Amino acid sequence: MAEKEEVEPTAEESSAELADATEADAQPKSSRTGVNGAEAAKAETSGDSQPEKVLEPAGVAATPGGKAKTTARTPKGAPTSKRDQPVKRERTTPIKFVKQSIGELRKVVYPTGQQLINYFVVVLVFVLFVIAYVSLLDLGLGWAIFKIFS
């Protein structure tokens, strides 16, 4: 018997081959069979065999409605960013710090007048409760210690 030689793909595929592969992958299995992906996987499963995974092409994410949504991709030929090397941070100048602080303060949602009054009353009642509790503990423990040592 003659053995078949497996040809390994070259390191760089032509853009036409990549486009053909992307087009073939872009059509999800569910649209080819006329049913949704879960039903297609169940219909193709028989016995102990595992259901075939439907893979989305790179840069496409599935949404709950079943429609594909394009995600951000790096341009072809762009090198992958290195994760192992520490990122060199630039110093923040005082002017840049003030501008960033003002930008963050603009994002703050300030309470309305009515909310401010409600919060003030809640805090005031809680503080008065704690003052009363600690005062009663002080009086009680002071009375107990006076009785024990006098």
Per-residue pLDDT, averaged over 37-53, amounts to 52
pLDDT value, residue 30: 47
95 phi and psi, to 5 degrees?
Answer: -65, -40
Higher pLDDT, 15 or 142: 142
3-state secondary structure of 52: coil
Per-residue pLDDT, averaged over 45-67, amounts to 55
pLDDT value, residue 88: 76
Cα dihedral 64/69/72/77 (nearest 10): 120
Q: What percent of the chain has pLDDT over 90?
A: 38
Average pLDDT over all residues of the chain: 73
pLDDT digit string (tens) for 58-113? 555 555 665 555 556 667 887 777 777 777 788 889 999 999 999 999 999 999 99
Cα separations in angstroms, 9 against 26, 108, 129: 21, 55, 77
What pTM, to 2 d.p., does this model score?
A: 0.35
Q: What is 55-100 written as a DSSP string?
A: PPPTTEEE-TTS-EEE---PPTTPPPPPSSSPPPPPPPPHHHHHHH
Would you say 62 and 68 are in contact if contact means Cβ atoms under 8 Å apart?
A: yes
The Cα–Cα gap between 64 and 92 comes to: 42
pLDDT digit string (tens) for 8-17? 555 555 555 5
